Structure 1
Amino acid sequence: MKLNDQTYMGFLQSSLVNRTTHNVNVTTFFFLGFNSMAVYNLLLFTLVLIIYIVTICGNCLIIILIYYSKTLHSPMYFFLSQLSISDILLITDIAPNILHIVLHERTSISFSGCIAQFYVYGTIETFECFLLTVMSYDRYLAICSPLHYTSIMKQSLCIQLVLVSWIFSCSVTLISTLGVSQLEFCGPNDIDYLFCDMNPLMELSCSDTSTVQMKITLLSVPVLILPFLVIVVSYTYIVSTILKISSFSGRRKSFSTCSSHLIVVFIFYGTLIAVYLIPKEGQSQIISKIMSLLYTVFTPFVNPFIYSLRNKEIKDNLKMYIYTKGFLFKNFGKS
Structure 2
Amino acid sequence: MWETEARNISIGCVWPKNNRTARGTEMLQDADYQFRFLLPELAVPALICLFVLLTVFSLAVNALTLSSIGRSDDPSWQPRFTFCRNLMLSDLLQTVTFGPAVIHCLIHRRTMVSSSWCYVQYFVGSASVFTSLVTITCMALERYLYVCYAIYYVVILTERRLRQILAAVWVYSISISAVMISLLLLRGAEDKSDSTVTMGLLCEPDVLEQHMGSPRPLAIFRKFFGAFTLLLCLLVHAFSYFRMYKDARNAVVPFNAVNVKARRTVVFYCGMLFLQLLPLLIKKPGPTATAAALHVSLLILLLVPPCINPLVYGLRNAEVRLALSSTILSPCCYDDRMLHCL
TM-score by length of 2: 0.75
Q: Which runs of 5+ in 1 are unaligned?
A: 1-26, 327-335
Could you say which residue in structure 1 is the equivalent of 2:42? 39
Q: Is the 8 A contact 1:79 1:135 kept in 2?
A: yes
Could you say which residue in structure 2 is the equivalent of 1:148? 152
Percent identity, aligned pairs only, is 20
Distance 1:281 1:289 in 2: 10
Instruction: Please point out which of 80, 83, 90 is paired with 2:84.
Output: 80
Instruction: Please point out which of 302, 308, 323 is paired with 1:296.
Output: 302
Deviation at 1:252, TM superposition (A): 6.8
More displaced 10-residue stretch of structure 1: 106-115 or 164-173: 106-115
Distance 1:172 1:308 in 2: 27
Instruction: Please point out which of 177, 184, 202 is paired with 1:195.
Output: 202
* Alignment coverage as a number of residue pairs: 297
Q: Is the 8 A contact 1:242 1:255 kept in 2?
A: no
Q: Does residue 193 of structure 2 align to residue 186 of structure 1?
A: yes
Q: Is the 8 A contact 1:143 1:254 kept in 2?
A: no
Deviation at 1:88, TM superposition (A): 0.5
Distance 1:260 1:80 in 2: 18
Correspondence 1:127-142 to 2 at 5 A? 127-142=131-146
Q: Which runs of 5+ in 2 are unaligned?
A: 1-26, 333-342
After superposition, the CA RMSD in angstroms is: 3.2
Q: Is the 8 A contact 1:139 1:258 kept in 2?
A: no
In the TM superposition, what whole-angstrom CA distance separates every residue of 1:63-116 from its partner, at most 9, and x where no partner exists? Answer: 122116646942112211111110000010011101100110225534332222
Distance 1:84 1:320 in 2: 19
Instruction: Please point out which of 59, 64, 72 is paired with 2:67.
Output: 64
Could you say which residue in structure 1 is the equivalent of 2:175? 171
Distance 1:82 1:289 in 2: 28
- C-alpha distance 300-148 of structure 1, shift in aligned 2 (>3 A): same
Deviation at 1:287, TM superposition (A): 2.2
In the TM superposition, what whole-angstrom CA distance separates every residue of 1:16-46 from its partner, at most 9, and x where no partner exists? Answer: xxxxxxxxxxx99948456532233233222
Q: Is the 8 A contact 1:187 1:204 kept in 2?
A: no
Deviation at 1:49, TM superposition (A): 1.5
Equivalent position amino acid for 1:269 in 2: L
- C-alpha distance 304-259 of structure 1, shift in aligned 2 (>3 A): farther
Distance 1:57 1:216 in 2: 32
Could you say which residue in structure 2 is the equivalent of 1:264? 272
Could you say which residue in structure 2 is the equivalent of 1:95? 99
TM-score by length of 1: 0.77
Q: Does residue 293 of structure 2 align to residue 287 of structure 1?
A: yes
Q: Is the 8 A contact 2:278 2:301 kept in 1?
A: no
Equivalent position amino acid for 1:302 in 2: I
Equivalent position amino acid for 1:177 in 2: I
Distance 1:39 1:281 in 2: 21
